[in-house]
Amino acid sequence: MKFHILGVGAIGGLVAHNLRRTLPAEFSVTLIHKNIRDQLRLRGTGAITIERSGTQDTSNGYDHEIFSERTLPPSTIPKSTVISTSPAARASTGPIHSLFVALKAHHTTTAVRALSSRISPQSTIVLLQNGMGVYENLIENVFRNPTERPHFILTANSHGAFATDFYRIVHAGLGSVEFGIAPDPQGRDFEAGLHDENILPRHRRLRLTDISIPGDPQSQRYNNLRSTVAALLLLENLGTSWLPFSALQLAMRQKLAVNAVINPLTALLDCRNGDLFEHQQALGFLSKICDEASNVFMAQMAAETESWLNDLQADGIDTSTIQPPMFPEALTSEALQTEVLRVAAITRQNISSTLADVRRGRTTEIDFINGYLENIGQEHGVNTPINSALANLIRLKSVLPLNLV
C-alpha cells in the first residue's frame, strides 16, 4: 500500500509525520514536492520535525517525488510532469493508491487534474482543505464519470499548525480530524453497520467490513479505501474519528461558519484570533455572518431533502408518512455564534490562514469560505450581503499593493 501526500506544508507535514510514525515500514509514504529545491531541502536531513509544547519529534523514511519544476528550463523538465530524483521513488509515475491532498483549496483541482492519469477507481483521495466546495469541483470538473471516479474521504480538521522552516512544523493547537466517506456511485453502503437490525442500536458502529471483506468479488475496487480508513483510525495523535457522511457534513458546515467569521475579519484588521471579540463592534459582524450562514445551510438542506424525497417517489416509494429531518440545532445562528467564540478563545494566540496568506501576498481560500456561502445562497435564493462584502474585500486586499507607507 502506497500513501502519497500532496502539499507538504504545515497540515500536510503533520499528517505525513503521523502516518510515517504509525504505519509499518512496508507501507510507503511518498511526499510530492512542488520542485527540486523543496525536495532537496528535505533530503538534506531526510526528516520532518514536529514541535509541540517545546518537545520535538522527528520522522524519516519517506519516498519523494517532484510535482512540477518551474526553476529548470522547460526543455529539461516539462511543466506539471511528475518526476523523481530519489532512488526510493523510481515508480513515481505508477498508480496512486491513496492521495492525501493538503494544498490550498484554490490549487487543489488543478493539481489533482495533473495527477489524474495515475488515479483510478481503485484510488482514494483524502481532502484536507479549509472551506467547502472542493469535492464538488473535483467531481464536476475532473472526475465527471461516476464509474471511473476514485473514492473520496472528506475531513473537518481543527488542528493548528505552522511551519517555522522547511519541514519544521509547530503543532500549535491540538484539535481533531473528523472524516467521512463520500457516497459510493456504485451503491455500496459504507454505513450499513449503523442500521443493522441484527445489532442492538446502542452497539451499532461504522465498520471496516462494510467497505470490503476477504473474498469480496470487488475487493480490488475497495481495498485501498479500506486501508486508508484503517490508517486514519490509527492516527491517535491527530484525534481522528470516522463519522457518517451526514454528520461529517454537519461538522464541515460548523467549521465553515467559524472560518467565515474569523478568517476575513482577522485578515482585514490584521489581528490575532483572540483580539477580535475584545471589542463590541465585532459582535455585530459575528451575529450577521452567522445569521446568513444558518439561512444558507437551512435552504441547502431543505433542497437536499426535497431531492431525496423525489428520488424515493421515483422508485415507487410512498413518502407521505416520511418525516423530513429537523434542521440541526448546531447550525442555528445562536449555536454557530457560540462555536465561533469558543474557537476564537482556544486559538486566541493564532493567526488565521487567510491573514497569513494576505501578509505573504498569496491568493486566499476566501472563495471556498465566504464565497462558498455567497454562491450557495445565490443558488437557493438566500441573500448574503455581509459574507459577499467580506469575500470581495479580501479579494480586493489580495490584489492591492502592500507596504505603501
- What are the residue ranges spanned by the domains of the chain? 2-243, 248-399
Task: Give the C-alpha distances (Å, rounded to integers) separating 210 from 84, 147, 181.
Answer: 37, 20, 12
CA angle 206, 209, 241 (to 5 degrees): 35
CA pair distance 193, 360, nearest whole angstrom? 47
- Partnered with residue 153 across adjacent β-strands are 126, 181
The predicted model gives 57-76 an average pLDDT of 67
pTM of the model: 0.88
Greatest extent of the chain over all pairs of C-alpha atoms, in Å: 71
Question: What pLDDT was estimated at residue 317?
Answer: 84
Catalytic pick among 2, 34, 104, 255? 255
The dihedral through the CA atoms of 21, 24, 25, 26 has a sign that is negative
Q: Has residue 294 got a pLDDT over 60?
A: yes
CA angle 324, 130, 125 (to 5 degrees): 80
The DSSP 8-state label assigned to residue 9 in this structure reads S
Mean pLDDT of the chain: 88
**What superfamily would CATH give domain 2-243?**
NAD(P)-binding Rossmann-like Domain (3.40.50.720)
- The reply to whether 104 belongs to the active site is no
Question: What pLDDT was estimated at residue 80?
Answer: 39
Residue in this structure with the C-alpha cell 510530492, named with its chain if needed? 32
CA pair distance 153, 291, nearest whole angstrom? 29
Q: How many residues does the chain have?
A: 405
Among 70-79, 127-136, 244-253, 393-402, the range scoring the smallest mean pLDDT is 70-79
Question: What pLDDT was estimated at residue 404?
Answer: 55
Right CATH for 248-399 from 1.10.287.1080, 1.20.200.10, 3.40.50.10420, 1.10.1040.10: 1.10.1040.10
Which of 32-46, 50-64, 289-303 has the largest mean confidence?
A: 289-303
